[in-house]
Protein backbone atom coordinates (compact mmCIF):
# COMPACT_ATOMS: atom_id res chain seq x y z
CA UNK A 1 0.00 0.00 0.00
CA UNK A 2 1.31 3.37 -1.03
CA UNK A 3 0.93 6.56 1.01
CA UNK A 4 1.03 10.10 -0.29
CA UNK A 5 2.09 11.90 2.88
CA UNK A 6 0.66 15.15 1.52
CA UNK A 7 -2.87 13.75 1.70
CA UNK A 8 -3.41 11.29 4.56
CA UNK A 9 -6.11 12.32 7.06
CA UNK A 10 -4.58 14.72 9.56
CA UNK A 11 -7.08 13.88 12.31
CA UNK A 12 -5.07 10.72 13.04
CA UNK A 13 -1.67 12.45 13.03
CA UNK A 14 0.52 11.77 16.04
CA UNK A 15 2.23 15.17 15.74
CA UNK A 16 -1.13 16.92 15.81
CA UNK A 17 -2.12 14.88 18.86
CA UNK A 18 1.05 15.97 20.67
CA UNK A 19 0.55 19.61 19.69
CA UNK A 20 -2.93 19.62 21.19
CA UNK A 21 -1.08 19.72 24.52
CA UNK A 22 2.26 21.27 23.62
CA UNK A 23 1.73 23.92 20.99
CA UNK A 24 2.53 26.89 23.17
CA UNK A 25 5.79 28.53 24.12
CA UNK A 26 4.89 28.97 27.80
CA UNK A 27 3.87 25.35 28.11
CA UNK A 28 7.19 24.17 26.74
CA UNK A 29 9.14 26.60 28.94
CA UNK A 30 7.27 25.30 32.00
CA UNK A 31 8.15 21.74 30.98
CA UNK A 32 11.80 22.72 30.55
CA UNK A 33 11.79 23.97 34.12
CA UNK A 34 10.18 20.83 35.52
CA UNK A 35 12.89 18.74 33.82
CA UNK A 36 15.45 20.98 35.56
CA UNK A 37 13.78 20.13 38.89
CA UNK A 38 11.93 23.42 39.35
CA UNK A 39 8.61 22.65 41.02
CA UNK A 40 7.22 25.75 42.70
CA UNK A 41 5.07 28.49 41.26
CA UNK A 42 7.33 31.41 42.15
CA UNK A 43 10.44 29.74 40.78
CA UNK A 44 8.61 28.72 37.63
CA UNK A 45 7.48 32.30 37.24
CA UNK A 46 10.99 33.67 37.71
CA UNK A 47 12.64 31.22 35.32
CA UNK A 48 10.07 31.40 32.52
CA UNK A 49 9.14 35.06 32.81
CA UNK A 50 5.48 34.09 32.46
CA UNK A 51 2.81 36.32 33.99
CA UNK A 52 0.96 34.77 36.95
CA UNK A 53 -2.32 34.22 35.13
CA UNK A 54 -0.59 32.65 32.11
CA UNK A 55 1.51 30.38 34.31
CA UNK A 56 -1.50 29.31 36.39
CA UNK A 57 -3.42 28.54 33.18
CA UNK A 58 -0.62 26.48 31.64
CA UNK A 59 0.01 24.56 34.86
CA UNK A 60 -3.70 23.78 35.10
CA UNK A 61 -3.78 22.48 31.53
CA UNK A 62 -0.69 20.34 32.06
CA UNK A 63 -2.22 18.83 35.20
CA UNK A 64 -5.52 18.22 33.36
CA UNK A 65 -3.59 16.51 30.55
CA UNK A 66 -1.86 14.23 33.05
CA UNK A 67 1.59 15.60 32.14
CA UNK A 68 2.18 17.21 35.56
CA UNK A 69 0.73 16.30 38.92
CA UNK A 70 0.05 18.64 41.82
CA UNK A 71 1.40 17.79 45.23
CA UNK A 72 0.82 19.88 48.36
CA UNK A 73 4.07 20.65 50.17
CA UNK A 74 2.70 23.08 52.75
CA UNK A 75 -0.57 23.21 54.70
CA UNK A 76 -0.40 26.74 56.02
CA UNK A 77 -0.44 28.47 53.71
CA UNK A 78 -1.58 25.77 51.27
CA UNK A 79 1.11 25.46 48.59
CA UNK A 80 1.51 23.04 45.70
CA UNK A 81 4.45 21.64 43.83
CA UNK A 82 4.28 20.44 40.24
CA UNK A 83 6.01 17.24 39.21
CA UNK A 84 6.30 15.37 35.95
CA UNK A 85 4.24 12.20 35.62
CA UNK A 86 5.42 9.27 33.46
CA UNK A 87 3.49 10.87 30.60
CA UNK A 88 5.42 14.06 31.26
CA UNK A 89 8.79 12.35 31.60
CA UNK A 90 8.18 10.82 28.17
CA UNK A 91 8.49 14.35 26.76
CA UNK A 92 12.21 14.42 27.53
CA UNK A 93 13.22 13.62 23.92
CA UNK A 94 11.16 16.57 22.67
CA UNK A 95 13.04 18.94 24.98
CA UNK A 96 16.39 17.39 24.08
CA UNK A 97 15.84 17.72 20.34
CA UNK A 98 14.73 21.34 20.83
CA UNK A 99 17.93 21.92 22.82
CA UNK A 100 20.10 20.31 20.15
CA UNK A 101 18.57 22.53 17.49
CA UNK A 102 18.89 25.63 19.68
CA UNK A 103 22.52 24.77 20.37
CA UNK A 104 23.30 24.56 16.66
CA UNK A 105 21.18 27.44 15.38
CA UNK A 106 20.68 29.72 18.39
CA UNK A 107 22.30 33.13 18.45
CA UNK A 108 24.73 32.61 21.35
CA UNK A 109 27.93 34.52 21.85
CA UNK A 110 29.57 31.67 23.77
CA UNK A 111 27.25 28.72 23.23
CA UNK A 112 24.61 27.49 25.66
CA UNK A 113 24.98 27.82 29.44
CA UNK A 114 24.83 24.11 30.13
CA UNK A 115 25.70 20.78 28.58
CA UNK A 116 24.57 17.22 29.30
CA UNK A 117 26.60 14.30 30.52
CA UNK A 118 25.45 10.73 30.01
CA UNK A 119 25.45 9.25 33.52
CA UNK A 120 26.10 5.71 32.31
CA UNK A 121 29.20 6.31 30.19
CA UNK A 122 30.34 9.74 31.41
CA UNK A 123 30.52 11.34 27.97
CA UNK A 124 29.32 14.93 27.49
CA UNK A 125 27.09 14.50 24.46
CA UNK A 126 24.03 15.59 22.56
CA UNK A 127 21.73 12.55 22.43
CA UNK A 128 20.83 11.84 18.80
CA UNK A 129 18.03 10.02 16.99
CA UNK A 130 18.93 6.57 15.74
CA UNK A 131 17.10 3.63 14.20
CA UNK A 132 16.37 1.15 17.03
CA UNK A 133 16.68 -1.72 14.54
CA UNK A 134 20.07 -1.02 12.91
CA UNK A 135 21.48 1.75 15.14
CA UNK A 136 22.17 4.18 12.30
CA UNK A 137 21.72 7.92 12.88
CA UNK A 138 18.45 9.34 11.50
CA UNK A 139 17.93 12.62 9.68
CA UNK A 140 15.17 14.17 7.59
CA UNK A 141 16.11 12.10 4.56
CA UNK A 142 16.27 8.75 6.35
CA UNK A 143 12.63 7.78 6.71
CA UNK A 144 9.78 6.90 4.35
CA UNK A 145 6.08 7.29 5.22
CA UNK A 146 4.17 4.00 5.24
CA UNK A 147 0.60 3.17 6.29
CA UNK A 148 0.03 3.11 10.03
CA UNK A 149 -2.60 1.19 12.02
CA UNK A 150 -5.48 3.62 11.30
CA UNK A 151 -4.79 3.70 7.56
CA UNK A 152 -4.47 -0.08 7.28
CA UNK A 153 -7.76 -0.50 9.16
CA UNK A 154 -9.52 2.05 6.93
CA UNK A 155 -8.26 0.30 3.79
CA UNK A 156 -9.43 -3.09 5.08
CA UNK A 157 -12.86 -1.63 5.87
CA UNK A 158 -13.08 -0.16 2.36
CA UNK A 159 -12.15 -3.54 0.85
CA UNK A 160 -14.86 -5.26 2.89
CA UNK A 161 -17.46 -2.71 1.79
CA UNK A 162 -16.60 -3.05 -1.92
CA UNK A 163 -16.26 -6.85 -1.88
Nearer to a copy of itself, 76 or 83 (CB): 83
Nearer to a copy of itself, 80 or 154 (CB): 154
Element holding 95 (H helix, E strand): helix 92-105
Q: How far is the CB of 46 from a copy of itself (least distance, A)?
A: 9
First to last CA, the chain: 18
**Residue with Cβ nearer a copy of itself (60 or 106):** 106
The nearest distance, CB 51 to a copy of itself, in angstroms, is 15
The least distance separating a copy of itself from the CB of residue 119, rounded to whole angstroms, comes to 5
Rounded CA separation 24/29 (Å): 9
Pairing of strands 79-84, 68-74: antiparallel
The CA-CA-CA angle for residues 58, 62, 66, to 5°, reads 170
Amino acid sequence: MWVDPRNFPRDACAIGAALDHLGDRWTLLVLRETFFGVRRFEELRRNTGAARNILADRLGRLVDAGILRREQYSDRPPRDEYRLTEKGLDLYPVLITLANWGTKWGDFELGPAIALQHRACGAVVQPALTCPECGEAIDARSMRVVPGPAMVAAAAAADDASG
